[in-house]
Chain A
Amino acid sequence: MATKEVNPDIQRIDPATGEYRVIAPGQTFRGVTEKITRIVLTPHTPLGWFAIFGVGGAGATMLMVALVWLFLKGVGIWAISQPVAWGFAIINFVWWIGIGHAGTLISAILLLFKQGWRNSINRFAEAMTIFAVVCAAMFPLIHLGRPWLGYWVFPLPLTMQVWPQWRSPLMWDVFAVSTYATISVVFWYLGMIPDLATMRDRAQTKLSQYIYGMLAVGWRGSVRHWARYETASLLLAGLATPLVLSVHTVISFDFAVAVLPGWHTTIFPPYFVAGAIYSGFAMVLSLAIPLRKFYHLENLVTERHIDNCGKVMLATGFIVAYGYGMEAFMAWYSADHWEAFTFWNRAFGPMGWSYWVLITCNLAIPLTTLWSRRLRNNMLYMFILSIVVNTGMWFERFVIIVTSLTRDFLPSSWGTYYATRWDYMTYFGTVGLFIFLFLLFVRFLPMIPMSEIRTMLPGAKIKPKVAAEAGD
């Protein structure tokens, strides 16, 4: 019996602090700095980078072709018509912006909760957020039909003297998404300034010294500056937290405020936010697992990070499951004829297959297997699972938009929806654009926040005696 009482966690605990290890032992300030700056400052770009960059570039080119044709011909090249006027554009918009949410959750909410493990992954998770918002924000604009009039959504003093309608959730969306994009960029850039200063000081060529020097705005690490910087970071985290919750809430209002069966429900805001974080963490894993392997960052992005992301997915996955369950329950409990029909049609109607894809990818596979630590520590499994979950989350939006719109109150307005090749090209094109932008980020900016990693190293600990005297 005695042998069974040995704690299997003993290897994972740092003897110096008695806390769980987040990064591998034996790291130094200089070692970490060199490891991370070398990825960017080396003149040798790995061949694999070019290969994936080529794939992303091809996707981005395909997007450009699809957009040029769209601007020439109009939105008729897509499958949207009556009754499905939203189609792929809005599915992709909601999907992309949801993916972005995990980046803000990691950088803001986990900072407020003092989760030290976020430090290794927050920079590229924030980059993921920004690029996902870039992909997302494109869709409502190109869906406009006359995208050159997109500026009409802003309250501008135009000669027509026509002003926006403030009671519409679509108008709220404009402000939620634009604020989200701005604050994400500001938070990301502010967090990067000390690291850009490190890059400036370690750059060898004149050009990179100039560029990183300009970007670092003359940061020199004064402790007065650090004190203000820490305050500003904390405040931005505190502001980004209600922001990220509000963004997907407002997006869910686009649906919930409509009277359509299957949309008109109060569960949508929390269910959308949880789904967003669920898919976002899946995307973090899709990026983190290859990155740590190709760039040999296993000591900084450890199995513990992947494990924790898996746990967050498990928790948010169950909230999503609750959302699905509540939709089914309300369809029965409301005793509303149309509501019940919509639910039945979702699961067993002509588009029923998409509902079961969603149930399989979002609930059946992840929520049964993520309990196992062995599987959470299996990188290949987690990578595949992250793709599965993101597929499932895409189908969730497909189900919400398409099945509700194809079966309206009046059978005479029923229809169907088959996406055209331009829909698929635009969708996969934005995936390409995302990869393209992300690889540029990995090549030219420090993808792991060095200054935050330094605070976690043993050398950063100040002896309690010194700290106590300093408090006087």
Chain B
Amino acid sequence: MRNLLNLRLEARPRVPLAMALASPFVAVAFTLLVCAGLVVWAGAPVTRAYALLFESAFGSRFAIGETLTRATPLILTGLSCAVAFRAHFYNIGAEGQLYLGALGAVAVGGSAIALPAPILFPLMIAAGMAAGALLLVVPALAKTRLGVDEVVTTLLLNFVALLFVSMMLDGPMKDTTAMGWPQSVPIRPELEFGKLLERSRVHVGLIIAVALALALWVVNARTTLGYEMRAVGANARAARFAGIPVDTVMLKTALLSGALAGLAGVGEVAGRAGYLTLDMSPGYGYSGIVIAMLAGLNPLGVVLAAVFVAGLIVGADSMSRAVGVPTYLADVIVAVSLLSMLFAAMLARYRVRWS
């Protein structure tokens, strides 16, 4: 035991590209192996369960459509977390920001404001993004001004945001025609996102999400803001000495992160449902954290990781109905992938030596 604990981690002078690229796949393979035990426990044949999972996620036009529809909010929450984590601002509140974003979209898009749709449409999107960003103002200021850890504040605000949405759906934004079901008024039909594929639910939000991933990649690699965010994340003290306004960068990062999560909520309302309910997100905000980590905080990697997680959610649903494995298997796979990904990424960066 004592020897086992006495290991040393030596940073590799250069991370071999092959190792960096292979680590997510090794992590996922390891995860599927571990989770096979759970499938056996549920009394289902492993290969058939996994085959069904893959088929119902990617095996047909319909399946791909469903996966991409699910991936749309996940790309945005993944980007939200990736941007924030890169600057070491641990925004764990994407779930609440998503709901406030959706609420903002409904507040504008479902209101009686007599403006033509082309003007109202950008207003609706801006309202959702602003609402998401607004939720992060307090945690960001509390962190930079008072040194309050943002993890706990953003986590707690998720509960506050959901209760606030619930209050609005009981009160001013309630759809009185919905038979007492807590559901918001619908947004105006002409404000809904267009469909990308016939006979599927894939909507324009997907294009927006992927475009934003590209844009963030450029911001990250090629702009001053990206450089500053990376510097603050790498070493805030050194960044301050170098004359980077750390607090301002932190606040900007937080607002950007919140706006991205808010946009995910706008997309769910305007692209998919048309209105807001309290069960709109099956934890997209929390999955965003995993997606960002799986992607190594790389905006382009986020797109791939989001499609992977979306495929798991969609696939587990049909697989569960066919062979009776609880859908929670998807959540376990996501959680174990996160932990094994952390482990694999560490092995790629460091050499382990026992002394």
Q: Do A and B bind each other?
A: no
- Chain A residues within 8 Å of B, Cβ to Cβ: none
- Chain B residues within 8 Å of A, Cβ to Cβ: none
